[in-house]
Structure 1
Amino acid sequence: MSYEMIAIFMFATMMAMLLTGQRVFGAIGFVAVIAALVLWGDRGGYDLAFSSAMKLMKWYPLLTLPMFIFMGYVLSESKIADDLYKMFHVWMGGLRGGLAIGTIGLMVLISAMNGLSVAGMAIGATIALPELLKRNYDKRMVTGVIQAGSSLGILVPPSVVLVLYAMIARQPVGQLWLAGIVPGLMMAALFILYIVVRCHFNPSLGPALSEEERAMPRAEKLALLRAGLLPVVIFATMMVPFVNGWTSLVESSAIGAITAFVAAVLKGRMTREVFENSVRMTLGISCMFMWIILAALAFGAVFDGLGAVNAIKDLFTDRLDLDPWVVLILMQLSFIIMGTFLDDTAMLVIVAPLYVPLVKALGFDLIWYGVLYTITTQIAYMTPPFGYNLFLMRAMAPPEITLKDIYGSILPFVLVMVFALSLVILFPQIALWLPNYVYGN
């Protein structure tokens, strides 16, 4: 059997196992080790799994993963995120669509606190959505706002998904995080621009709150502003030393975790229950990602040994005579198709052993491609009929929001994200300027 056929058989076996409901890391790791045993015998198969585990354990930036996850859960479990929404409610409620704009702002800050899109979705659906519906905001528009805003969690640092990509692609986590900042803020700005334009021409979609609803003494408004900006201060305390080169990425993650813990203690919200929940969920998420990375490294090692990447590159560029840009676009389209039935980590782990070396062989920048992958994953999350975020939203939304409403809400935001993706493809410096500036200095 040729190496190309072995590679195809490996992918087919892995997909068959995933369709039977097996865990992602179990299916991928099992196929990798069995393939190694068949190809290179007992010693080669065992060494592959062992060397992948040692490579993972020696990857120093992996320490950032539990630190940032813990920081996010502390801020979430201690209800500091609630203060954020109260701040946006008071300070922006007087604008047409002001609460929807504030929700996007909330999602950006939640992303900077947690790095997981599920956390943003949960907070948006439980805190923001009831308030928006109660104040007669259009249910389709606000449903789309929360889904689109929550997707920023995997792009704005500290993105956990970019940590996973960094390990698989063997790229610096710090550069990937910096590369995600400008595209993430640009996408948030485009969401806000869409809301402003829609509410300008149709004020009934996002009516401004009355003066009575926003009535509050100025001193209380300022106190609420300080409380709501606390996560911003925590993020700045963590990122400013890193960007200026005073601390390493791991040291900055520790500063973020400690600062969040101290803030929760000073506000009197660090109860035993909050601490136990934060530690338990941090441990669960961190272990899940470690198993996924371990499986991906083993799978990638088999592909390297087979030379499958060079064979596929030759197929596209030599036999089919496709332009590298056409191959890149086809790869992005495949992510959107896979996003109908897989989450972001599963998509990355399944195709990264093939796509990452192929991107490098085609001459593209792997930091830039990490941002492209992340934005495309965000789009796939919200693309009907089976987008991951669509069903998360259905599970968390109140009964009056139907699946039809959720499907109808997302189209304009998907178009905005496709526009943002196109800008990053056409102008790579949108993603690469900040990491080049910081690391160049």
Structure 2
Amino acid sequence: MIDPTLIGYGTFIVLVALILIGVPIAWAISGVSFGALFLIYGIGPTISQFYTTAFSSAGEFLFSAVPLFIFAGQLISKARIGEDLFDTMHKWFGRLPGGLLVSTVSASAAFGAVTGVSAAAVGTMAKVAMPEMIRYKYDVKMSAGAIACASTIAIMLPPSLLLILYGLQTETSISKLFIAGIVPGLMMAFVFSAYNVIRCSLKPELGPPGPRFSWRERLVSLGKLSPVVIIFGVVIGGLYNGFFTPGESAAVCAFSVLVYALVTRRVKLKEIIEAAYDAVSLSAMVFAILIAMTVFSRVLIATRVTSDLVDLISSAGLNSYVVFALFILLLLVLAMFLDALGMILLTLPFMFPVMMGLGFDPIWFGIVLVLMSEVGLITPPVGMNIFILSKSLPSVPTIQMFQGAWPYVALCIGLVILFTIFPQLVLWLPNSM
């Protein structure tokens, strides 16, 4: 009989190889998990593990939050709320050096606060913000980098899909994860905006100030923010005060967006059906990945890989922050080859037990892990946000987009260091619930 530990390490190596060559994550994880369990238990118990896991995992009430939040995000994209957000931010911040860049960052943060998916923010801002930046002769490289990177804020702010997946996989409170993401998300928006203002102040040709708007125009434009403010306030306020569970808050969010879309007639019936179809398709993919990850976690338990890793690190006597720094370096390397979802799902089964064994807070670690996964969306050669942007802006070379994104990678790493030194920046809001 093959040593289960060898099976465990072999499974991980094969899994990494499959993901790197482009095999869909759900298929890769399911395939290696099936093979490992077959070698350990045989065909009968392996099949039993798969179908019992599928029913028990997909039957959890928390899973209902996934399709509902995705549906809300799809509707918001089709309702052209992103255009309203950018227009409002442009009127308030456009006069600053690099004002259109600041407007893009601010609008992306607000857009992400009601969608939780960065891809939607990239596509929307590419259509809305880039023509304005070209019109005012902004540096193309800096403009493209700002659009791609500002959209990553969406997966930090609630209702972040990645935070939901993290909570489901680690049995961490999704409500507290949502609340914990607010301050880091707002800090990201502030730091990104400050960088753009400072750099464009030093080199005005990169992003000259835009036109001046009257106070009346600015105040009137705030009315366009009301849907986002109301929806975000109701959902997050309900979570913070304990009125809603994550599943219930997702239902409230989806219902609120649907009512807004119907009342304002911004979305046709055909588009609502399309949004529902897209939500079902994406949710099916997410469910398949979650079920596969649940089975994979059983492989790690059966092969004792995770417990052996925890014992090895504990016996080595390394300082907990040294271990954390090594993990961050590993995440930086993986960010070059994996997208955000793949990186989190691949590393979570190993890193989470180790970090908990070293005494780190699970909510804090979730925020840091999601922040590092954002780096994976903007670094070559994968850089999912960059490639989404390149489809919307074929005239801009991809290499220039990556060059424009590098300063934001440094800013994200700086924020990780800041949150490590001052963890209460992440934890004070969820701890007050």
Fold similarity call, TM over 0.5? yes
Distance 1:427 1:54 in 2: 41
SS in 2 for 1:61: helix
Q: TM-score, normalised by structure 2?
A: 0.94
- What aligned pairs does 1:126-165 form with structure 2 within 5 A after superposition? 126-165=127-166
Q: Does the alignment pair 1:412 with 2:413?
A: no
Deviation at 1:373, TM superposition (A): 0.6
The answer to whether the 8 A contact 1:339-1:388 is kept is no
SS in 2 for 1:342: coil
Distance 1:386 1:72 in 2: 24
The answer to whether the 8 A contact 2:376-2:382 is kept is no
Alpha-carbon spacing, 1:91–1:339, altered in 2? closer, same or farther (3 Å): same
Q: Which of 337, 345, 350 is equivalent to 2:346?
A: 350
Gap regions ≥5 residues in structure 1: none
SS in 1 for 2:224: helix
Matched length: 432
Alpha-carbon spacing, 1:210–1:365, altered in 2? closer, same or farther (3 Å): closer
Question: Which residue is equivalent to 2:238?
Answer: 241
Deviation at 1:223, TM superposition (A): 4.0
Question: Which residue is equivalent to 1:383?
Answer: 379
* 229-238 vs 156-165, which moves further: 229-238
Deviation at 1:200, TM superposition (A): 2.2
SS in 2 for 1:71: helix
The answer to whether the 8 A contact 2:96-2:197 is kept is no
Question: Which residue is equivalent to 2:417?
Answer: 422
Question: Which residue is equivalent to 1:336?
Answer: 332
Q: Which of 266, 272, 291 is equivalent to 2:288?
A: 291
SS in 1 for 2:181: helix
SS in 2 for 1:208: coil
Distance 1:259 1:74 in 2: 11
Distance 2:246 2:399 in 1: 43
What do the CA deviations read for 1:140-171 (whole angstroms, capped 9, x no partner)? Answer: 22122112211112111100011111111111
Distance 1:241 1:360 in 2: 29
Deviation at 1:316, TM superposition (A): 2.8
Question: Which residue is equivalent to 2:359?
Answer: 363
SS in 1 for 2:360: coil
Alpha-carbon spacing, 1:403–1:255, altered in 2? closer, same or farther (3 Å): same
Deviation at 1:369, TM superposition (A): 0.9
Question: Which residue is equivalent to 1:7?
Answer: 8
Deviation at 1:222, TM superposition (A): 4.2
Q: Does the alignment pair 1:317 with 2:302?
A: no
The answer to whether the 8 A contact 1:125-1:397 is kept is yes
Deviation at 1:398, TM superposition (A): 4.1
The answer to whether the 8 A contact 2:8-2:36 is kept is no
Question: Which residue is equivalent to 1:122?
Answer: 123
Gap regions ≥5 residues in structure 2: none
Q: Does the alignment pair 1:302 with 2:299?
A: yes
Identity %: 30
Question: Which residue is equivalent to 2:92?
Answer: 91
The answer to whether the 8 A contact 1:78-1:274 is kept is no
Deviation at 1:260, TM superposition (A): 0.8
Question: Which residue is equivalent to 2:112?
Answer: 111
Question: Which residue is equivalent to 2:388?
Answer: 392
Deviation at 1:322, TM superposition (A): 2.6
Question: Which residue is equivalent to 2:171?
Answer: 170
SS in 1 for 2:308: helix
Deviation at 1:61, TM superposition (A): 1.4
- What aligned pairs does 1:33-112 form with structure 2 within 5 A after superposition? 33-112=34-113
Deviation at 1:84, TM superposition (A): 1.3
Alpha-carbon spacing, 1:423–1:344, altered in 2? closer, same or farther (3 Å): same
Distance 1:368 1:85 in 2: 31
SS in 2 for 1:229: helix
The answer to whether the 8 A contact 1:141-1:205 is kept is yes
The answer to whether the 8 A contact 2:4-2:302 is kept is no
The answer to whether the 8 A contact 1:94-1:208 is kept is yes
* 414-423 vs 332-341, which moves further: 332-341
Deviation at 1:129, TM superposition (A): 1.3
Q: Look up the equivalent residue of 2:301 and give its one-letter code.
A: D
Question: Which residue is equivalent to 2:221?
Answer: 224
SS in 2 for 1:312: helix
- What aligned pairs does 1:237-276 form with structure 2 within 5 A after superposition? 237-276=234-273
Distance 2:226 2:105 in 1: 15
Deviation at 1:361, TM superposition (A): 2.1
Q: Look up the equivalent residue of 1:231 and give its one-letter code.
A: V
Q: TM-score, normalised by structure 1?
A: 0.93
Q: Look up the equivalent residue of 1:21 and give its one-letter code.
A: G
Distance 1:267 1:390 in 2: 33
Deviation at 1:17, TM superposition (A): 2.9
Alpha-carbon spacing, 1:404–1:16, altered in 2? closer, same or farther (3 Å): closer
Deviation at 1:33, TM superposition (A): 1.9
Q: Look up the equivalent residue of 2:206 and give its one-letter code.
A: L
Deviation at 1:24, TM superposition (A): 0.8
The answer to whether the 8 A contact 1:28-1:350 is kept is no
Distance 1:235 1:40 in 2: 48
Deviation at 1:351, TM superposition (A): 2.3
Distance 1:278 1:251 in 2: 20
SS in 1 for 2:266: coil
Q: Look up the equivalent residue of 2:426 and give its one-letter code.
A: A
SS in 2 for 1:156: coil
The answer to whether the 8 A contact 1:342-1:388 is kept is no
Distance 1:262 1:222 in 2: 25
* 387-396 vs 426-435, which moves further: 387-396
Question: Which residue is equivalent to 2:368?
Answer: 372
Q: Look up the equivalent residue of 1:375 and give its one-letter code.
A: L
The answer to whether the 8 A contact 1:340-1:388 is kept is no
Q: Look up the equivalent residue of 2:361 and give its one-letter code.
A: D
Alpha-carbon spacing, 1:363–1:43, altered in 2? closer, same or farther (3 Å): farther
Deviation at 1:20, TM superposition (A): 4.4
Distance 1:388 1:225 in 2: 32
Distance 1:192 1:16 in 2: 38
Q: Look up the equivalent residue of 2:76 and give its one-letter code.
A: L
Deviation at 1:118, TM superposition (A): 0.9
Distance 1:161 1:329 in 2: 22
